[in-house]
Structure 1
Amino acid sequence: MSSPELAAMLAAAVHARSALFDARHELAFRLLNGFLEGWPKLAIDLYGRTIVLHNYADPPEAGTADVQAAQAWLCERLPWIDSVVVKTRHAATSEEANGVVVFGEAPARKVREHGVWYALDILLNRDASLYLDTRHLREWAVDSLSGKSVLNTFAYTGSLGVAARAGGATRVVHLDLNRRFLNLAKTSYTLNGFPIHKADFQTGDFWTEINRLKRADERFDCVFVDPPIFATTKHGTVDLANNSGRLINKVRPLVNDGGYIVAINNAVFVSGKAYLETLAALCADGYLAIEALLPVPLDFTGYPETLVSQPITDPAPFNHSTKIALLRVRRKA
């Protein structure tokens, strides 16, 4: 495709998202889902006043011209942008994969969503430290978890737990293997004026930490389970493509009667039908029920008027490969 075609596609994508731009430029959302909106080598995110360009081309050099053309177009049409970061998926170095600032100076350090501040470290990892596909889930947490106790497993930078805390949760425990990620969650707490209790930020292996919580007879009203697609330690393996039910069963004993397990499966090659069948099998004993399926925001999936391609695997009845289910727990008497 030519640069004029790219420009036309960007114009359509930005126009479709026009209602999301805020006057103070504090929000974060996806500006372009190139896989489904017509430019598979490119995805573009907005974090406050920072543009993040994801170069998915392989080899990366095949996407350089597109990245440069998109940067020029966006900086001209959105003159308030003060920094641009390029993340290269098939990079030769971790620095290029995590992101390089190609315009401006420091990228945005925070964004505001549903009245809640989230700390950012856009160069922290291959992604940008705040998952844009779970924005509706954060809104649900703000609206639904007042007075509740929450366990945020695979917490990463803690955004789901931060949302729960902002919504009035009485206790939120964050669990992740990486202390650096949890430090960013603490920064989000500071931005929002929440007190930081060291015991609520637990660094450790999911499998051993869940066992520890069980031995301590801990209970929570809501447990978030948002794991990576695949990860293994000496204590256990996460494999969302083949055994996502194991994680849900692992945390079930920690949930109070009437509480929630929020189960997320973002494996691209797991269809929505297959994941729903997994959940249905878990619910067969009558002690777990599917209460709702939460959609991914349209800016992340692409809009009806901008979509030109279909997902690799059909996510229906979900609307994206990030499949989010709210499960209600009933405990045996």
Structure 2
Amino acid sequence: MTTVIDLNVKTKYIPEYKKGYPLINKDTIVNTNVLKDEGSIFHLYDSGHQFIAKGYHGKQNKGLGWVLTHNKAEAIDFAFFKSRIQVALDARHSFYQNTETTAFRVFNGEGDGIGGFTIDYFDGYYLINWYSTGIYTFKDHVIRAIDELCGYKAIYEKKRFDTKGQYIDDDDFVKGTRGEFPIIVKENGMNYAVYLNDGAMVGVFLDQRQVRKAIRDKYSKGKNVLNTFSYTGAFSVAAVLGGAIKTTNVDLAKRSKSKTIEQFSVNGIDYEQQDIKVMDVFEYFKYAKRKELKFDAVILDPPSFARSKKHTFSTAKDYPALIKDTIAITEKSGVIVASTNNASFGMRKFKGFIDKAFKEMNTSYKFLEEFSLPSDFKINPSFPQGNYLKVLIVEKR
């Protein structure tokens, strides 16, 4: 019989866990020292030793584990994982029926009841992202559940953990028939080249689906568009297909150029008519100001934290300065698509960053639209940090 660890919740956090808060961390637990092996099961108790919840130990960022159930008698076994994955699949039924979008999230961690892993679907291929050694101990349950519930071409995985919290770069293939990459997936009728066997990133971030559609449908026609931190140019594909006159793509990563060329090419776009620059975004802003360049639309989707030879950037403290740089090269009545995936602050604070920047530039603005995670990225209402994506479309007045 598996040994279950008893964890005592600090008094002030008891109401949160009773309401469904799913993340365990050292600040909420009295006796974290009893946690040893990742993957072990724990029970949460209040100060009167009344049962609150059951979960597993897995180190993820600052967390120590996740609550799985508030039913003490419920076993954390194959049947548990299968039932949660079945519910998630049923909730995405409409996505499977949509021939214009063939890539989406099937299981979104704690939003679907089991924190620590996600499952994405790419036109017949399933990709599991594991975020801790603890959840990886349940790998066989998850694989078997996909086996029994889904038809597939192949299953791939990304192990986004090691002792230093880094991605483990090894063979990502799990089972099925190995894919010939890239595979081409559709998103609202647009094509994207995807690699499930080539490092941590696959080529497109599925959580930005609604934003790309808005850029294509509302904010690109006849526009000169700058796409910063452009990665594989996915936003620029949407802009060109929406009628943009030209896109300029800027990213420091050397491979971003070939990846962006590929994304243009699979959509029948002449990449030679677009600008693709491999350089530091902050250096590009200086260059654009010197050359007095102006853009009708600027897309900002920086990583939460980035470091280059000359700059260290953190969204939590540097986003207002980034917006100020952007305002300076945006045409009057132009739009700024400001995005962040930093979970440490909410939409209200993010809007404050925008307001601060415009006030310091003595420029007026108007919020046109805002976006958070799409419906396939299900969130736990008791865990607001899980709704990490914040996107604001701002018009410079």
Given the two structures, how large is their TM-score scaled by the length of structure 1?
Answer: 0.88
Superposed, which structure 2 residues align to 1:18-167 within 5 Å? 18-22=93-97, 27-57=102-132, 60=133, 62-79=134-151, 81-91=152-162, 96-97=168-169, 100-103=172-175, 104-106=177-179, 109-144=183-218, 145-167=220-242
Offset at 1:183? 1.3
1:260-287 deviation per Cα after TM superposition (whole angstroms, max 9, x unaligned): 1111121111222221222222343342
Alpha-carbon distance in 2 for matches of 1:23, 1:252: 38
Mapped contact 2:324–2:358 kept (Cα < 8 A): no
* Higher RCO, Cα 8 Å, sep 6+: 1
The Cα shift of 1:296 comes to 2.0
Residues in 1 aligned to 2:244 and 2:294: alpha-carbon distance in whole angstroms: 14
- The match for 2:371 among 269, 291, 294 is 294
Q: 1:17 aligns with which of 79, 82, 92?
A: 92
Counterpart residue identity of residue 275, structure 1 = F
In structure 1, distance between residues paired with 2:343 and 2:142: 26
The code of the aligned residue for 2:172 comes to V
Q: CA deviation at 1:166?
A: 1.1
- Corresponding residue to 2:390 among 323, 326, 332: 323
Between the aligned partners of 2:258 and 2:382, the Cα distance in structure 1 is 39
Q: Would you say the 8 A contact 1:36–1:309 is kept in 2?
A: no
Displacement of 1:232: 1.7
Contact 2:81 2:145 in 1 (8 A): no
Determine the C-alpha separation between the residues in 1 that align with 2:209 and 2:324: 25
Q: Deviations over 1:107-140 (max 9, x none)?
A: 6622111111011123344232211111000000
Residue number among 79, 90, 113 corresponding to 1:4 in the alignment: 79
Does residue 312 of the first structure (1) align with residue 379 of the second (2)? no
1:245/1:282 contact within 8 Å kept = yes
Number of matched residues? 316
Per the TM alignment, residue 164 of structure 1 is displaced from its structure 2 partner at its CA by: 0.6
The alignment's TM-score, normalised by the length of structure 2, stands at 0.74
Q: Please name the residue that 2:250 is paired with.
A: 175
Give the % identical residues.
Answer: 24
Aligned in 2, Cα 1:25/1:37: closer, same or farther, shift over 3 Å?
A: same
Residue 212 of structure 1 pairs with residue 287 of structure 2: yes
Counterpart-to-counterpart distance in 2, 1:295 and 1:35: 17
Give CA deviations for 1:222-264 in whole Å, capped at 9, x if unaligned.
1000001111223222111222111111121211110111111
Contact 1:153 1:224 in 2 (8 A): yes
Q: Does the 8 Å CA contact 1:272/1:321 hold for their aligned counterparts?
A: no
Pairing of 1:265-284 with structure 2 (within 5 A): 265-284=340-359
For 2:19, the equivalent position in structure 1 comes to none
SS in 1 for 2:226: strand
Uncovered stretches (5+) of structure 2, i.e. residues with no partner: 1-75
Structure 2 CA distance for aligned equivalents of residues 259 and 293 of structure 1? 16
Q: Does the 8 Å contact 1:155/1:182 carry over to 2?
A: no
Q: Residue 185 of structure 1 aligns to which amino acid in structure 2?
A: T
The verdict on how the C-alpha distance between 1:25 and 1:108 changes in structure 2, with shifts beyond 3 A counting, is farther
Q: Deviations over 1:22-65 (max 9, x none)?
A: 476961111111122211121111111211101112xx2x3234
3-state DSSP class of the match of 2:316?
coil
CA contact (8 A) 1:98 1:126 kept: no
* Separation (CA, whole Å) in 1 of partners of 2:394 and 2:170: 34
Q: Give the match's secondary structure for 1:192.
A: coil
The alignment partner of 1:263 has SS state of: strand
Tell me by how many angstroms 1:92 deviates: 6.4
Deviation at 1:78, TM superposition (A): 2.1
Tell me which amino acid in the other structure corresponds to 2:371.
Answer: L
Structure 1: 4+ residue segments shifted above 4 A: 23-26, 92-95
CA distance in 2, matches of 1:180, 1:121: 14
Q: How many Å separate the matches in 1 of 2:100 and 2:351?
A: 37
Higher gyration radius (CA): 2
Which residues of structure 1 form unaligned runs of 5+?
Answer: 314-319
Checking the alignment, whether the CA contact within 8 Å between 1:294 and 1:325 is kept in structure 2 is yes
Distance 1:98 1:165, change over 3 A: farther
| Partner SS for 2:287 | helix
